[in-house]
Chains A and B, each alone.
Chain A
Amino acid sequence: MPATLFLPAILAKLADAKQFEVSGDTVGELVSDAATRFPALGTRLRDPNGEPYAFVTFYLNDEDIRFHGGFGAKVSDGDELTVVPAIAGG
């Protein structure tokens, strides 16, 4: 499934783009696709075990993926995946 990955500014420089198309049936596959194309970005998106870091949240169409199966969350055609580093309370 084609989807769009949106990156925060701190990571965008590693892909020379703030957003780009990725493909996969799950969020994990979308991340793998991005990591294959931009290896330096890959190590920032997932830890050595292939899991998300504690300080990074992935939103699939504005929904925190941790409520939908984490990297196993299913992706539909045209979905948007947004990477958001953790920020302080308010």
Chain B
Amino acid sequence: MTQATIARESALAVLPQHCKLCGTEYPAEANAICGECLGPLEPTYPKDRVLPDREDIARRAPNLWRYKEWLPFIGEPVYSKETGFTPLIEVPRLAEKLGVARAWVKNDAVAQPTLSFKDRVVTTAINAAHALGLGVIGCASTGNLANAVAAHAARAGLPAWIFIPEDLEPAKVINTAVFGANLVRVRGHYDDVNRLCSQLADRFGWGMVNVNLRGYYGEGSKTMAFEIAEQLGWRLPTAVVAPMAGGSLITKLRKGFGEFQAAELVSGASPRLYGAQASGCAPIVRLVESGAATLTPEIPNTIARSIAIGNPADGPFAARAMVESGGWGAHVSDEEIVSAIRLLAETTGVFTETAGGATVGAALKLAAQGRLTRDDEVVICITGNGLKTTDVVRDVLPQAPIVDAKVREVAALVAARS
């Protein structure tokens, strides 16, 4: 029985796919690569699908499945039904720092169950694996995806094989291992892990969420755009700043905003999209800055390990999304990342990991360059939680004083700080 046959007989089916570059059509199967041009595949949505209106969506449960008509399935989801609909928080004190009219944080640092936006993409990928009859899932990961695959697989009762660079932050290793997954640390950078997993997907026939299920996985990212639009009151911001690793998120944000515009659920102009990277690994930003035809890969060297992808698969698409939307890219140093983590925490109450520091740092840089202006309404996408990368801020935060349990000692401290 072929995978496509299983998909048709399952209560949940995935849509067929087509090549994003040459348009060649493919059946629903665990394949993310075009056999004609090796371009990436993406789901093909039926032209006659019936779309909900605002009221229909508003009546649905607060999770990402409220947008199910824009996700690549026929039928109801089987796993991970609670993911999504994270808070959109207005942050006036950060808006003031940026010099913009209004600013919001889209807070995927509290995404469920693993505190990063990767819960979104794993939600669609694990349901695709089920629909395609794949009994084992896995991934190549810089950390957050490992956490998400391990947790979603544990909840579903599926075995998982997860491959990470050997030098990941301890919290990200622990937050994967605790779920009982088969966790393997690979000597080398993420790009080495990526290559290995591409070969493993072929060898073992596993559902590697960001390899052979990539086309279905990526669609989960669109829900961040859908939520931003709905939570703003069915309108679009003027600008969005998001981190870039492989480059998929910013590409899918553009697709998501565009799909809501096409469905006439929102009015107004498309937001300008701005991508953030760490200076120690910024191949997509440098592609935008140079205007070159092809991306030059880099060897990562940054504390922002979750976005340290030197050979980003969606880099050219991300660059196009930024430039065509009227946006741009910015990269920031490791020192600026740490400083921005603290600024976000101190002005918004949101503790983000290094990728979020890069995003806020890039927003500050873009504002200083005049690319974000006083008329802008800006959404900053915070995609991961600071509790996973406490090592980068531990040594720069002030030491808390230790006192005896005496009022006069505290009074002395208060006086000293007044």
Residue numbers of A with Cβ under 8 A of B are 6, 8-11, 13, 18, 44, 53-57, 59, 62, 64, 66-67, 82, 84-90
Set A6, A56, A90: member contacting B139, Cβ < 8 A: A90
CB distance from B172 to the nearest CB of A (A): 11
Set A6, A10, A89: member contacting B246, Cβ < 8 A: A89
Number of A-B contacts (CB under 8 A): 102
Closest 7 CB pairs of A and B: A89-B246, A86-B313, A88-B210, A90-B145, A90-B141, A89-B245, A85-B33
How far is it, in angstroms, between the C-alpha of A82 and the C-alpha of B248 when the chains are bound?
24
**B256 contacts partner chain A, Cβ-Cβ < 8 Å:** no
How far is it, in angstroms, between the C-alpha of A13 and the C-alpha of B218 when the chains are bound?
27
B246 touches A59 (CB 8 A): no
CB distance from A80 to the nearest CB of B (A): 11
How far is it, in angstroms, between the C-alpha of A46 and the C-alpha of B245 when the chains are bound?
26
Which of B78-86, B192-200, B266-274 lies at the interface with chain A?
Answer: B192-200
B297 touches A64 (CB 8 A): yes
**B295 contacts partner chain A, Cβ-Cβ < 8 Å:** yes
Can you sample 25 A-B contacts with CB below 8 Å?
A8-B33, A10-B33, A10-B34, A11-B35, A11-B38, A44-B35, A53-B38, A54-B316, A55-B313, A56-B38, A57-B195, A57-B311, A64-B191, A66-B297, A84-B199, A85-B33, A86-B40, A86-B311, A86-B314, A87-B197, A88-B32, A88-B314, A89-B245, A90-B144, A90-B210
CB distance from B204 to the nearest CB of A (A): 11
How far is it, in angstroms, between the C-alpha of A23 and the C-alpha of B37 when the chains are bound?
24
**B36 contacts partner chain A, Cβ-Cβ < 8 Å:** yes
B37-64, CB under 8 A of A: which get 1 and which 0?
1111000000000000000000000000
A62 contact set on B, CB distance < 8 A? 192, 195
B245 touches A82 (CB 8 A): no
Contact A89 to B38, CB < 8 A, known contacts A9-B202, A64-B191, A84-B198? no
B294 contact set on A, CB distance < 8 A? 54
Report B312-348 residues with CB < 8 Å from chain A CB. 312-314, 316
Contact A87 to B297, CB < 8 A, known contacts A8-B198, A44-B37? no
A10 touches B35 (CB 8 A): yes
B247 contact set on A, CB distance < 8 A? 89
CB distance from A42 to the nearest CB of B (A): 13
A54 contact set on B, CB distance < 8 A? 294-295, 316
How far is it, in angstroms, between the C-alpha of A64 and the C-alpha of B194 when the chains are bound?
12
A56 contact set on B, CB distance < 8 A? 38
**B142 contacts partner chain A, Cβ-Cβ < 8 Å:** yes
B88 contact set on A, CB distance < 8 A? none
Set B39, B141, B217, B246: member contacting A55, Cβ < 8 A: B39
**B3 contacts partner chain A, Cβ-Cβ < 8 Å:** no
CB distance from A57 to the nearest CB of B (A): 6
B246 contact set on A, CB distance < 8 A? 88-90
How far is it, in angstroms, between the C-alpha of A11 and the C-alpha of B312 when the chains are bound?
22
Which residue of A is nearest B142, CB measured?
A90
B214 contact set on A, CB distance < 8 A? 87-88
B195 contact set on A, CB distance < 8 A? 57, 59, 62, 82, 84
How far is it, in angstroms, between the C-alpha of A9 and the C-alpha of B34 when the chains are bound?
11
B33 contact set on A, CB distance < 8 A? 8, 10, 85
A89 touches B248 (CB 8 A): yes
Report B290-310 residues with CB < 8 Å from chain A CB. 294-297, 299, 309
A8 contact set on B, CB distance < 8 A? 33, 198-199, 202
How far is it, in angstroms, between the C-alpha of A62 and the C-alpha of B245 when the chains are bound?
21
Extra contacts, 16 of them, besides A8-B202, A10-B33 (Cβ < 8 A), are A6-B199, A10-B31, A11-B38, A44-B38, A55-B313, A64-B191, A64-B311, A88-B32, A88-B211, A88-B248, A89-B246, A89-B248, A90-B141, A90-B194, A90-B245, A90-B309
How far is it, in angstroms, between the C-alpha of A44 and the C-alpha of B36 when the chains are bound?
7
Which residue of A is nearest B221, CB measured?
A88
Contact A82 to B199, CB < 8 A, known contacts A54-B294, A87-B313, A88-B218? yes
B297 touches A67 (CB 8 A): yes
